[in-house]
Chain A
Amino acid sequence: MLKYAFIRVLAAIPTLFLVTILVFFFIRLVPGDPAAMLVGDIQNIGRLEEVRSSLGLDRTIPEQFVIWIGRVVQGDLGVSMINKAPVLETILQRFAVTAQVVFISVLLTTLIAVPAGMIAAWKQNKPADNVIVITSIGVMSIPSFWIGLTLILIFGIKLGWLPSIGYVSLFEDFSAGAVYLIMPVIALVMGELGGVLRMTRASTIEVMRRDYITHARAKGLSEGAVLARHAFPNAFAPTLTVIGMVIGALLGGAAVIETVFTLPGLGRLTIEAISSRDYSMVQGILLVVAVIYVLINLITDLLYPLFDPRMNF
């Protein structure tokens, strides 16, 4: 298993390298540069040149890339070109916010969607299944940011029960932090619920017609035991893949929900960094997000054998 993990990490290196090269050159293709943002007056050529050379932007792009990658392999992502904040620290700080919202949401989504999907599969084509399937299609059709706006409108503005904007870290003040997280978490859970539920239902239906399920029933196990001991472990692997993909997508791309609830997360940092042409910050974010994505894929694959011992490495 360790060998497998090691090979997987090695195999990810070309991908990561390609991602970094693409990001590095792409962001420099965008019109405008950090020097222009800092100086403000693009007529002031002398001052622009001065700032460019202080940021190292007067060198050729391949030179800049070699210098940057040389520092990255030593674990140094540099400082923001706009406000000199250390890139890695800023990213981790913002990532902590996104991660709190995303992990709570995904945990809740799983706890609701997996049992509901299994019940739907168990009662396939019966009224309970129809209700669950129709509800999941309905939920899938509501954009999560619209749910967010509607929640703010009802519970934030009209009723005044919950704060509409802002954020307090759960680790600093748990109860205050939880109050700020309620609405973003509900919006994200409703956004992701449908996909996970449908995957669970589909893979459970597939499993339920296998011989070992018939066998388990024939030997007199209760339906609950058949579902929990035999159907669940076999049906969970594909669902796990979907959950991994959801986590990966949300960690990098919860930007819309972060915008709706003005959460200082990674998605908003990305938008800010791109719009201020903060090259070092954008490069850092995309590198970190790509690494997280590769790690999450690896972790999901390594978790498979826990549920399905037939798989080994």
Chain B
Amino acid sequence: MKYLVALRFNALIGISLVSIVAIAALAGYVVPSADPLHIDYSAFLSPPSPAHPFGTDNFGRDVLSRVLVGAWSSLISAFGTVVVAVILGGTLGAVAGFFGGWVDRLIGILTDTLMAFPGLLMALALISILGAGIVPMIITLGVSFSTIFIRVVRSLVLSLREQEFVQASSAMGNGEMYTILRHILPNCISSLLVLATSTLAFAILAESALSFLGLGVQAPNPSWGGMLAEGRGLMGHAPWLVLFPGFAIFLTLLGINLVGDALRDWLDPWMESET
């Protein structure tokens, strides 16, 4: 019971953090406090002050408004990545698990091939073909994160396929697509939700890493990873350039991880008996 209280407390902190970041992202997108691209040479590299709470960068741009707009691009690309990964991985995994046979083997080889490419290397190669930017990054990350969904959904479907209600549905003459959508999919949702939440955290990390390497969101548009890369050379004189964007990433990930943890405890039947 005590654990349940601690758990709820964690979940509450997680949800608040995620909401704060989401509201900040929306605010940064809808009503930028100061133009994140506005160059002001009279105020470059000024430390945090009432006019610029997070200071300014080497072009005199307001770091706070850049962090806020960065939140928008981080969240959008992370959500996009998870959507691509869930749809692509979920479909391939369900098909592989439900039909088995050569389809399963073909998808298996495809998954192994994708997994043998370390994510970052694949991202580098794909992004140099598609060009750097948010959309190519979403596609790249979505494809590389889809492998885990393929595996999980495949194994879920394999075990569900043998269950009586699925066999009954087939015996009643329902089509395969109907059985998958009506009976198998709803039973995968709680596992998918837990997996999607942890993937969201990984996607934010990967997005900031790619933007840090200059492969994601392109300058002058702000992104947390890109701001870290730009601030890196100047951080001895202007530590706020790397402290605030990094702290933004930390709070976002902390929020998502806390929510994910609470979801897992709540939805995972094996942990349930503990609480």
Q: Given A125-B3, A134-B10, A149–B242 Cβ distance below 8 Å?
A: yes
Give Cα A146–Cα B212 distance, bound, in whole angstroms: 10
Residue of chain A at shortest CB distance from B229: A259
Chain B 240-259 residues near chain A, CB threshold 8 A: 242-243, 246, 249-251, 253-254, 257-258
Chain A contacts for B121, CB-based, 8 A: 252-253, 270, 285-286, 289
Instruction: Judge whether B274 and A146 touch: CB under 8 Å.
Output: no
Chain A contacts for B118, CB-based, 8 A: 248-249, 251-253, 289, 293
Pick from A30, A133, A249, A289: contact of B128, CB under 8 Å: A30
Among A150, A253, A294, find the residue whose CB has the most chain B CB atoms closer than 10 A.
Answer: A253
Chain A residues bordering chain B, tally (CB within 8 A)? 53
Q: Given A15-B113, A256-B213, A141–B253 Cβ distance below 8 Å?
A: yes
Chain A contacts for B212, CB-based, 8 A: 145, 256, 259
Is residue A267 within 8 Å, beta carbon to beta carbon, of the partner chain? yes
Give Cα A286–Cα B129 distance, bound, in whole angstroms: 16
> Please, what's the 1-or-0 string for B212-229, where 1 marks a CB less than 8 Å from any CB in chain A?
110000000000000010
Q: Given A137-B254, A290-B116, A150–B205 Cβ distance below 8 Å?
A: no
Is residue A138 within 8 Å, beta carbon to beta carbon, of the partner chain? yes
Instruction: Judge whether A141 and B125 touch: CB under 8 Å.
Output: no
Is residue B182 within 8 Å, beta carbon to beta carbon, of the partner chain? no
Give Cα A22–Cα B116 distance, bound, in whole angstroms: 12
Give Cα A134–Cα B3 distance, bound, in whole angstroms: 13
- Majority SS at the chain B contact face: helix
Give Cα A76–Cα B35 distance, bound, in whole angstroms: 55
- Majority SS at the chain A contact face: helix
CB distance from A244 to the nearest CB of B (A): 12
Is residue B124 within 8 Å, beta carbon to beta carbon, of the partner chain? yes
Chain B contacts for A130, CB-based, 8 A: 3, 6
Q: Given A137-B257, A137-B261, A274-B124, A149–B129 Cβ distance below 8 Å?
A: no
Chain B contacts for A133, CB-based, 8 A: 261
> Please, what's the 1-or-0 string for A29-46, where 1 marks a CB less than 8 Å from any CB in chain B?
110000000000000000
Is residue A55 within 8 Å, beta carbon to beta carbon, of the partner chain? no
Q: Given A130-B6, A145-B212, A18–B119 Cβ distance below 8 Å?
A: no
Instruction: Judge whether B270 and A206 touch: CB under 8 Å.
Output: yes
Give Cα A23–Cα B118 distance, bound, in whole angstroms: 13
Is residue A19 within 8 Å, beta carbon to beta carbon, of the partner chain? yes
CB distance from B115 to the nearest CB of A (A): 8
Give Cα A19–Cα B109 distance, bound, in whole angstroms: 10
Give Cα A182–Cα B249 distance, bound, in whole angstroms: 24
Q: Given A248-B118, A253-B118, A294-B116, A141–B250 Cβ distance below 8 Å?
A: yes
Chain A 258-305 residues near chain B, CB threshold 8 A: 259-260, 267, 270-271, 274-275, 282, 285-286, 289-290, 293-294
Residue of chain B at shortest CB distance from A253: B120
Chain A contacts for B257, CB-based, 8 A: 137, 140-141
CB distance from A145 to the nearest CB of B (A): 6
Instruction: Judge whether A271 and B117 touch: CB under 8 Å.
Output: no
Chain B contacts for A253, CB-based, 8 A: 118-121
Is residue A221 within 8 Å, beta carbon to beta carbon, of the partner chain? no
Instruction: Judge whether B116 and A26 touch: CB under 8 Å.
Output: no
Chain B contacts for A138, CB-based, 8 A: 254
Give Cα A131–Cα B119 distance, bound, in whole angstroms: 32
> Please, what's the 1-or-0 string for A161-187, where 1 marks a CB less than 8 Å from any CB in chain B?
000000000000000000000000000
Chain B contacts for A15, CB-based, 8 A: 109, 112-113, 116
Chain A contacts for B232, CB-based, 8 A: 149, 260
Chain A contacts for B274, CB-based, 8 A: 124-125, 205
Chain B contacts for A251, CB-based, 8 A: 118
Chain B 89-146 residues near chain A, CB threshold 8 A: 109, 112-113, 115-121, 124-126, 128-129
Give Cα A140–Cα B198 distance, bound, in whole angstroms: 11
Is residue A27 within 8 Å, beta carbon to beta carbon, of the partner chain? yes
Chain B contacts for A282, CB-based, 8 A: 125
Give Cα A15–Cα B243 distance, bound, in whole angstroms: 43
> Please, what's the 1-or-0 string for B31-56, where 1 marks a CB less than 8 Å from any CB in chain A?
00000000000000000000000000
Question: Which B residues contact A (CB, under 8 angstroms)?
Answer: 2-3, 6, 10, 109, 112-113, 115-121, 124-126, 128-129, 201, 205, 208-209, 212-213, 228, 232, 235-236, 239, 242-243, 246, 249-251, 253-254, 257-258, 261, 270, 274-275
